[in-house]
A and B are shown apart, each in its own frame.
Chain A
Amino acid sequence: MSLFKYAAAPESRAIVNIASSYGLFIDGEFVDGTGTAFKTINPATEEVLSEIAEGSALDVDRAVKAARRAYSKVWSKMPAAERGKYLYRIARIMQERAREFAVLETLNNGKPIRESRDVDVPLAAAHFFYHAGWADKLEHAGVGSAPKPHGVVGQIIPWNFPLLMLSWKVAPALATGNTVVLKPAETTPLTALLFADVCRQAGLPAGVVNIVTGAGATGAALVSHPDVNKIAFTGSTKVGKAIAREIVGTEKSVTLELGGKGANIVFDDAPMDETIEGIVNGIFFNQGHVCCAGSRLLIQENVQDEVLDRLRKRMAQLRVGDPMDKNTDVGAINSAAQLGRITELSNTGDSEGAERWSAPCDLPAKGFWYAPTIFTGVTQAHRIAREEIFGPVLSVLTFRTPAEAIEKANNTPYGLSAGIWTDKGSRILWTAARLRAGVVWANTFNRFDPTSPFGGYKESGWGREGGRHGLAAYLKQGEQA
């Protein structure tokens, strides 16, 4: 057990002021929804935080109309440099209110405050700051000399990085001159609703950003709305395929950021301290609720024992529990439903013959928790090697030769991320070139930056987000232009 005892170091929640209920943010103001309101909770305590309006198809239509009006009357007529200044304002306000966002994110999502404070919120602000600068430079983005926005963009985001995914979506959409109807995830609407207040403070013209809360039906209404020009979706591959099929035959453009089953490859010459940290970061960061998680660990057979021994020791040090505690490494699972999916899929690991080991830790009595877990003796046929668990569960496989590592790594319909651990530069480049994945981290893992394109091969999605390449998704291409 751990050498040192930790005293609790809870972050104060006094900085946030959660209303007892929230409406929909349409045309610059909060309005009542016409659907059935639902409760949003803190997944670490099951405490009800607020009641959230459900956007019906009627509400979605209102939001799209507001976005269309704002597009044609205001946003598309505004000089690009002025548009950019609004984004700079938003970035600054998010930085100024960073602590408030971080606390609210952790309360509603269950992720450790250390991560929302040090990763989610700063990166979200950075995305706005980065894209602000693009607004008046789009002719240099490599998509033609006079690139045009799509118009009204419908955006649907997941619950794993609620504010960060909002910024990945909203910042490039606004910078390129589109207006937005955003649907946050059902379980994590609060930071998006706080973002509405940022729009107010920034003086953003009414209707440029509209936020319609709800679940799948609300999202489906947004996808099928005839006056939406482009859909941007981050979520499961299953829903992504349904969206792709739904919009076939329409003029809508679409980008999809979907699931993954990332291979994290450890060669026998890997720098071991960094590798162990990288494996842990790759799968236990954000409770493994990460589409690009390194959820398949491929270890070269001759270092298997050393890697696994050190990994178990390191995992035993992970502090699992109160997400508001600044010492916490692994927080709460986002919802009862997700905990159920993790449990069900992980149980197939046992029943199919893999060997489970979980970090010894005391899980809180209330809330949704899953101990950091690894499965060894996993074969490529096991469900836990093929399907995305989206939780703190790592499947361990081995390989003997680099060629075998590549074959196993690519043996998946997904193609989002991969990791490489080796001290040999030529091997990094050889391996990186052969991995069918959109993001490859060599001797690091789970790094993100607004300047860096992110997105998947194969069934992990269509298009990129971030960097120059991400802008293309929000500008008309080729025959559309």
Chain B
Amino acid sequence: MSRIEVRKTYKLFIGGAFPRSESGRSYEVVDKEGNFIANPAMASRKDARDAVVAARSAYVGWSGATAYNRGQVLYRVAELMEARRDEFIDEVSLSEGIGKGKAGKIVDAAIDRWVWYAGWSDKLGSILGATNPVAGPYYNFSIPEPVGVVALIAPQDSSLLGLIDLLGAALTTGNTVVALASEASPLPAITLSEVLATSDVPGGVVNILTGRTKEVAPWLASHMDVDAINLAGVAAEDVRNLAGEATDNLKRVIAPKSRDWLKTPTLEAMTSLLEVKTVWHPVGI
């Protein structure tokens, strides 16, 4: 008799821990042929709110870390993913219903995307900052700063690379994140959270939810302690409504059109999650 495999329980990732949904709900995820894969948690409004609290608590530490440190932490994620490369290829292949070859390319790009973003953390200040030659006896400088807590509605069509693309942009800029995984293919996101949990990313900096996009995304869009939201994974017909909800506290809203996730992101992926702060001081003796 062949050995019965030990299956994994896929749970949420909030504040560095792996809780089930407080609602006690889960939903069935199947492969392309309709075969059962797993029952990940179906996050509720309360889970989303808990995740925002965790992200807010982690914000001061992460945004206050040195850029060099953040770069190393993100690079470390790439190192750990590399070690679990085969596992990710299997999971992406199964989740997205694509061949191992194509999944391999996606996983490699995902690992390399962490490396790319890791290198940005200590360049952004130079590229986007300025000393401003004001007409008076003042020293005046402008620096980019993270916008705060960012909600990412991860793309539906790219369960791992798309999510990492959004995560990298938010994290290298010093933001903390609540991400809602691809609804139909959430498993690679949860496996990624296992990587994050064992890497040097502090608990709460990244929180990952699985569940129904139509149910959870509106709570994040209207949450008054979320500073920005990326609507990549929101159905086209819902973007307008959620962007409207987001105006209640003037969230920065990113509503990207679908893109080829294998392509290198633009600088705007990061600038859209940054504020510019200008500081003045008199010059004198």
Give, as a whole number of angstroms, the nearest-CB distance from B275 to chain A: 5
Which A-B residue pairs are the 8 nearest by beta carbons? A249-B240, A449-B134, A478-B268, A244-B247, A451-B132, A452-B132, A248-B243, A245-B247
Is the pair B250, A241 in contact by a Cβ cutoff of 8 Å?
A: yes
Q: A249-B240, A442-B281, A458-B250 are in contact. List 18 more A-B contacts (CB 8 A).
A: A244-B250, A248-B243, A258-B250, A428-B281, A438-B276, A439-B278, A442-B280, A447-B134, A449-B140, A451-B140, A452-B142, A457-B277, A458-B148, A467-B142, A468-B130, A469-B130, A469-B142, A479-B257
Q: Which of B134, B239, B243 contacts A451 (CB 8 A)?
A: B134
* Chain B interface (Cβ < 8 Å from any Cβ of A): 64, 127-128, 130, 132-136, 138, 140, 142, 147-148, 224, 227, 239-240, 243-244, 247-250, 252, 256-257, 266, 268, 275-282
Interface residues of A (CB under 8 A from B): 126, 142, 237, 240-241, 244-245, 248-249, 256, 258, 413, 428, 432-433, 436-444, 447, 449, 451-455, 457-459, 461-462, 464, 467-469, 477-479
Report yes or no: A452 in contact with B128, Cβ–Cβ below 8 A.
Answer: no
**A469 vs B276: C-alpha distance in the bound complex, in angstroms?**
8
Closest to B250 in A: A459
A selection of 23 A-B contacts at a CB cut-off of 8 Å is A241-B250, A248-B243, A249-B239, A249-B243, A438-B278, A439-B278, A439-B279, A440-B277, A440-B278, A440-B280, A441-B279, A442-B281, A443-B281, A449-B135, A452-B140, A452-B280, A453-B130, A453-B278, A454-B278, A467-B278, A469-B130, A469-B276, A478-B268
Known: A245-B247, A249-B243. A453 touches B280 (CB 8 A): no
Contacts of A447 in B (CB 8 A): 134, 136, 138, 280
Chain B proximity of A98: nearest CB distance (Å): 16
A128 to chain B, nearest CB (A): 14
CB nearest to A429 among chain B residues: B279
Residue on A nearest B281 in the bound complex, by CB = A442
Bound-state CA distance A443–B280 (Å) is 8
Contact A464 B227 (CB under 8 A): no
A120 to chain B, nearest CB (A): 15
Q: Among the listed B248, B256, B277, which residue makes an inter-chain contact with A241, where contact means beta carbons less than 8 Å apart?
A: B248
Q: Does the CB pair B280–A444 fall under 8 Å?
A: yes
Chain B nearest CB from A110 CB (Å) reads 26
Are A458's CB and B266's CB within 8 A? no
Say how far A16's CB is from chain B's closest CB, in angstroms: 27
Cβ-defined contact, B276 with A455, below 8 A: yes
Find out whether the CB atom of A437 lies under 8 angstroms from the CB atom of B277: yes
Residues in A with CB closer than 8 Å to B147 are 457
Q: Given A244-B247, A248-B240, A248-B243, do A451 and B276 touch, yes or no (CB 8 Å)?
A: no
- CB contacts (< 8 Å) of A461 on chain B: these are 250
Bound-complex Cα distance A241 to B142 (A): 26
B250, A442: Cβ atoms under 8 Å? no
Known: A437-B277, A453-B132, A454-B278. A444 touches B227 (CB 8 A): no
Tell whether, in the assembled complex, residue B132 and residue A142 are in contact, meaning their CB atoms are under 8 Å apart: no
B148 / chain A contacts, CB cutoff of 8 Å: 436, 458
Q: Report how far A455 CA is from B278 CA in the complex, Å.
A: 9
B279 touches A432 (CB 8 A): yes
**A241-B247, A461-B250 known; A452 vs B282 contact (CB < 8 Å):** no
Assembly CA distance A36 to B128 (angstroms): 47
How long is the Cα–Cα vector from A413 to B251 in the complex, in angstroms? 11
Chain A nearest Cβ from B243, distance in angstroms? 5
Q: Is the CB of A458 within 8 A of B138?
A: no
Q: Is the CB of A245 within 8 A of B244?
A: yes
How far apart sit A472 and B227, CA to CA, in the bound complex (Å)?
A: 21
B212: shortest Cβ distance to chain A, in Å? 23
* CB closest residue in chain A, given B127: A142
B275–A457 touching, CB < 8 Å: yes
Contact: B282 with A467, CB < 8 Å?
no
Q: B165 CB to closest chain A CB, in angstroms?
A: 14
Question: Measured between alpha carbons, how far is A142 from B129 in the docked complex, in Å?
Answer: 11
What is the bound-complex CA distance between A454 and B279, given in angstroms?
A: 10
Q: Which residues of B contact A241 (CB under 8 A)?
A: 247-248, 250
> CA A467 – CA B53 in complex, angstroms?
35
Alpha-carbon gap, A469 to B132, bound state (A): 11
A-chain residues with CB within 8 Å of residue B127 when the two chains form the complex? 142
Q: Which of B224, B243, B257, B281: most chain A Cβ within 10 A?
A: B281
Most buried by B among A428, A438, A449: A449
* A477 B268 Cβ-Cβ under 8 A: yes
Closest to A470 in B: B276
Q: Quick check: A248 and B282 within 8 Å, CB to CB?
A: no
Note all chain B residues with C-beta closer than 8 A to A428: 281
B126 to chain A minimum Cβ distance, whole angstroms, is: 12
Q: How far is the CB of B96 from chain A (nearest CB, A)?
A: 24
Residue of B nearest to A442 (CB): B281
- A199 and B102 CA atoms in complex are apart in Å by 60
Q: Report A203 CB to chain B, min CB distance, Å.
A: 27
A462 touches B250 (CB 8 A): yes
Of A142, A462, A469, chain B has the most CB atoms within 10 Å of the CB of: A469
Cβ–Cβ < 8 Å partners of A441 in chain B: 279-280
A248 adjacent to B133 (CB under 8 Å): no
Report the separation of the CA atoms of residues A452 and B266 in the bound assembly, to the nearest whole angstrom. 25
Q: How far is the CB of A267 from chain B (nearest CB, A)?
A: 14
Q: Hey, which chain A residues are within 8 Å of B134, CB to CB?
A: 447, 449, 451-452
Cα distance, A240 to B250, chains bound together (Å) = 9
Q: In the complex, A323 Cα to B252 Cα: how many Å?
A: 40
In the complex, which of the residues A440, A444, A478 contacts B282, with contact meaning CB atoms closer than 8 Å?
Answer: A444
A240 to B247, CA, bound (A): 9
Alpha-carbon separation in the docked complex, A464 to B130 (Å) = 14
Tell me, rounded to whole Å, the shortest Cβ–Cβ distance linking B2 to chain A: 51
Residue of B nearest to A413 (CB): B249
Q: In the complex the two chains form, what is the Cα distance from A397 to B40 in whole Å? A: 49
